[in-house]
Amino acid sequence: MGFFNWAAPLFGVFANRWSSATIDDIAGWLSPYMRGECPDGCHVLDVGGGTGALAARLHDATGARVTVLDPTPEMLAYVPDDVDAITGVLGTAEAMPFDASVFDAVIVTDAFHHFRDQDAAAREFQRVVRCGGGVIVVDLDPSGWFMRVIARGEKVLGEPGAFFTPEEMCAFFAAHGIEGTCERMKGPAYRYTGTVREQ
Ligand SMILES: C[S@@+](CC[C@H](N)C(=O)[O-])C[C@H]1O[C@@H](n2cnc3c(N)ncnc32)[C@H](O)[C@@H]1O
């Protein structure tokens, strides 16, 4: 049994940590990638979206359809099932069960460093997001002693702990044909925003 299988009840209680200001920020980052009226013109994929806490808040704030992709059934069990526009789907970032070019944007919060094959995940982002759509990743910069302890702790728990610095994240996606920028947030957190181009 993996870390998220047994820790899911904790996430069920604490995953809705999003302040209204942060939800407004995320909605603003996504808005250039939305094609028109939501929900029809706006379909966001939350990869590693866990309990769907962010999906529910984003849907409330923007009206967008949000699909939550996650490989942990115990996390997906918390995804609200009473809202048509929010759907939980079992699967991994590395091999997504979706057709090509079906999403306007992908968002990944606090999950990218858990992916076991980040190159395969980036190829999937490129495939499932339409041309001109967005890739937004919120993660933690491993520079500094505190984050080195966190990364070590995650590895002890059987997770990859594969954190990138903002510079490494930008270079990583550029190597996959997704050009973007990184912006520092609070503490070690930062946000990557990139645009999918035709290959
Ligand atoms: C720390 S939780 C973050 C959940 C949510 N995004 C949030 O910000 O609260 C990390 C999530 O990544 C998921 N995950 C782990 N490996 C994954 C993979 N290969 N593909 C997609 N999701 C994965 C876990 O199941 C877990 O739900």
pLDDT, tens digit (0-9, with 9 covering 90-100), for 169-182: 999 999 999 999 99
Most confident stretch, 33-37, 131-135, 143-147: 131-135
Tell me which residue has its CA closest to atom 24 in ligand 1.
48
pLDDT digits (tens, 9 = 90+) for 108-124: 999 999 999 999 999 99
For the segment 12-43, what is each residue's pLDDT rounded down to a tens digit? 999 899 999 999 999 999 999 998 888 888 99
Return the residue whose CA atom lies nearest to atom 25 of ligand 1.
72
Protein residue whose Cα sits closest to atom 15 of ligand 1: 114
Instruction: Identify the pLDDT of residue 180.
Output: 97
Mapped onto helix, strand or coil, the DSSP state of residue 184 is strand
What CATH number belongs to 3-196? 3.40.50.150
The full set of domain ranges for the chain reads 3-196
Q: Residue range 142-157: average pLDDT?
A: 94
Q: In this structure, are residues 120 and 94 in contact, taking their beta carbons and an 8 Å threshold?
A: yes
- The C-alpha atoms of residue 158 and residue 179 are separated, in whole angstroms, by 31
Q: Are 136 and 193 in contact (CB under 8 A)?
A: yes
Which tens digit of pLDDT belongs to each residue from 53-106?
Answer: 999 999 999 999 999 999 999 999 999 999 999 999 999 999 999 999 999 999
